[in-house]
Structure 1
Amino acid sequence: MEAGDAVVWRNRALTLFDRVVVPVAVCDAYGRVVLANPAMAAECGTTPGRLRGRDVLELFRPQRATQVERIVEALRLRRRSRYRVSVCWRAPDGGERYGELTADPVSDSVEETPALLVMLRVEDERPAAPPVPAPAPVTPVEGRVLALLASGATTARAARELGLTTDGVNYHLRRLSARWGAANRTELVARAYAAGVLSPGVWPPEAP
């Protein structure tokens, strides 16, 4: 292909790139924008020329760092898989928007460090957070153990007041910790108040 033909085809490709309605950008291996179409620039409230040289991960904030780490590793190993990153960004109207960046490593040769063809899929609204399961109900004995724990009682004192052995008290605490995913006794008490197992504003603590 002669030089003149190459220029013609390049201009045609750029024209098509600008007319794509999906937000698209080409970034170097470090995530800096080399080329962006008007749709991508519009999501950032600017022009394509002003996006050049900007870090795409500053424009669109990743929601999970592990997704970005996979892309970095892929570029290092010159892999050609497609990668997705959940992102949020500030819309031109000042609101928060959410979507997904799709990154495709591309290059002209195996030896060349690949660039990234980045496309943005915009979501209509923020993804709904998964529902938080309600804590399982506690038994009367468990409620009393939690109330004594909240009052600062030691395992030995709780055992005396409940007529249990210390091993019995620890058994109930282990079951509660496993059921609620609590790391320690302080978290157990906090979860008990949050779940309504202990009555707020009442001293000494008591289960309703």
Structure 2
Amino acid sequence: MNDDEVPEEAMRILGGEDWVVWRNRSLLLFDRVPVPCAVCGTDGEILMANPAMAGEWGVTPGQLAGRNVLELFHPSTADQVYRIVEAVRLGRRSRYPVEVRWQSPDGVRRYGELTADTVSDTDSPMWLLVLLRVLGEEPRPRGGGAVDPVPGEAERAAPIEVRILALAAGGHTTAQMARQTGLTADGVNYHLTRLSRRWGVGNRAELVARAYVLGVLAPDVWPPEPI
């Protein structure tokens, strides 16, 4: 959102400098929300995403800008999408859930629910605030048609996670990792926390050790590198 898109009434009440402070604080809060979320145009094009949403794809938030949310997350039925499109066309302001499925970079197929809220202080422009609720993972089919979880699936790491692990193994601080990956410090911490929970470790040293044990980082190499 730029200053030209700010409602005149908000600018009048807040004043120019106050608006800048308010906007910066809002963006900081947006980055720290642990729930994957994005702001989209009415056509589904992502205008900005938070680290949690980008984490579902192993990229930085900026790399999701310009992508279409419905190309990333596949709706279960087209009727759900048509309902949102029609509501937006008629100017209705409400919440619309959509059942979706997607495949993350580590090969795991997930399913969940996208909730789209129409948000705007004026009739134009109108945006969609999209929230993702991850409900679970789908087991992969075996050759005979039965399904069974893939061994070692939980041990995999997305490319952005592997890069963060290599930097962490090299002794980089959170701020240094953020600069080298293009993430915010909160984005780096989000990925580290997510990996720690996935691998069942309690601190950064254990996380790095686990990465070597699992073969994510190359042994006998300095500076640390992915395999």
TM-score range, shorter chain: 0.5 to 0.7
2:106 and 2:137 map into 1 onto residues whose CA distance is 15
TM-superposed deviation, 1:43? 0.6
- Equivalent residue, structure 1, for 2:109: 96
CA-atom RMSD, angstroms?
1.3
The size of the alignment, in residue pairs, is 126
Question: What is the CA deviation profile of residues 21-75 of structure 1, one whole-angstrom value per residue up to 9, with x for unaligned ones?
Answer: 0001000011000010000000122110000010000010111110000000001
Amino acid at match of 1:97: R
* Aligned mates of 2:78, 2:100 — CA distance in 1: 10
Which of 124, 128, 132 pairs up with 1:116?
128
- Superposition map of 1:32-51 within 5 A: 32-51=45-64
SS at match of 1:123: strand
Letter in 1 for 2:100: V
**Cα drift, residue 2 of structure 1:** 2.1
Any conservation in 1 of the 2:95–2:115 contact (CA below 8 Å)? yes
Please say if residues 25 and 36 of structure 1, whose CA atoms lie closer than 8 Å, have aligned partners that are also in contact: yes
Preserved CA contact (<8 Å) 1:87 1:100: yes
Bigger radius of gyration: 1
| TM-score of the superposed pair, with normalisation by structure 1 | 0.59
> Deviation digits for residues 85-122 of structure 1, max 9, x if unmatched?
1111111211211100000011111x224210000000
Cα distance in 1 between the residues matched to 2:70 and 2:104: 15
Are the aligned partners of 1:29 and 1:113 in contact in 2 as well (CA < 8 Å)?
no
Contact kept, 8 Å, 2:51 with 2:61, in 1: the verdict is: yes
In the alignment, is the contact (CA less than 8 A) between 1:25 and 1:35 conserved in 2? yes
Residue 4 of structure 1 and its aligned partner are, at CA, apart by 1.2
How many angstroms apart in 1 are the aligned matches of 2:126 and 2:77? 23
Rounded Cα–Cα distance in structure 2 between residues aligned with 1:81 and 1:47: 29
User: What is the distance in 2 between the residues matched to 1:125 and 1:34?
Assistant: 27
In the other structure, the counterpart of 1:77 is 90
Name the structure 2 match of 1:168: none
Distance 1:52 1:115 in 2: 14
- In 2, Cα distance between the equivalents of 1:106 and 1:94? 33
8 Å contact from structure 1 (residues 106, 117) kept in 2: yes
Q: Which amino acid aligns with 1:101?
A: L
Matches within 5 A, 1:49-198: 49-109=62-122, 111-126=123-138
Superimposed CA distance per residue, residues 168-197 of structure 1 (whole angstroms, 9 cap, x where no aligned partner): xxxxxxxxxxxxxxxxxxxxxxxxxxxxxx
The answer on 1:22 being equivalent to 2:35 is yes
Aligned with 1:87: secondary structure?
strand
SS in 1 for 2:22: helix
Bigger RCO of structures 1 and 2 (CA < 8 A, at least 6 apart): 2
CA contact (8 A) 1:101 1:120 kept: yes
Question: Which runs of 5 or more residues in structure 2 are unaligned?
Answer: 1-13, 140-227
